Amino acid sequence: MTMTITRFFYSLGAMLLILSQTACNRDYEADIMGTTPPAIEVVVKNAAGQPLQNTTVKLYKTEAAWNAETGEIASVTTNGQGTVVFTEQQLIEPGFYFLLATDGTKKAKVKTKYFLRTDGRTRVNVTL
């Protein structure tokens, strides 16, 4: 009887080990897709909290490109409300994005939250 119980636990352990190895190798796909297209909205303000128009905001996918300030994905100028929007077409894949805002004299660098590309706008505030 002891041999049967021991074999059972060895078999159970081997089966759990096999299942744990195969269950972890899956690509993530979002189950829920919303109706609002994904985007990153950047609002640039000065230290007093006033929106800054005509400020250039550059979008980078890698931290290395961001640090070197080369190879941006997109570059957009803020509107009268100090806002720019990077669209789904510019946001190639899920992950972190890196922003550089400059008015020609001052610069501000910001790393975004993890961007999922599933629904809605991710808002990022930048103080210049």
Domain ranges of the chain: 39-127
Banded pLDDT at 77 (limits 50, 70, 90): very high
Which of 12-16, 23-27, 54-58, 122-126 is predicted least confidently?
23-27
42 - beta bridge partners?
84, 124
Residues 97-109, mean pLDDT to the nearest whole number: 95
pLDDT at 50: 96
Q: What is the largest CA-CA distance in the chain?
A: 82
Give the domain 39-127 fold: Immunoglobulin-like (2.60.40)
The three-state DSSP-derived secondary structure of the chain is: CHHHHHHHHHHHHHHHHHHHHHHCCCCCCCCCCCCCCCEEEEEEECCCCCECCCCEEEEECCHHHHHHCCCCCEEEECCCCCEEEECCCCCCCCECCEEEEECCCCEEEEECCCECCCCCEEEEEEEC
Confidence check: pLDDT of 19 > 70: no
- Give residue-wise pLDDT tens across range 24-64: 555 555 555 557 789 999 999 999 999 999 999 999 999 99
State which amino acid sits at residue 9: F
The CA–CA distances, whole Å, from 54 to 2, 43, 71, 110 equal 79, 12, 21, 18
Percent of the chain with pLDDT over 90: 57
Query: How far is residue 105 CA from its own chain's centroid?
Result: 28
Confidence check: pLDDT of 12 > 80: no
Neighbours of 58 (CB within 10 A): 21
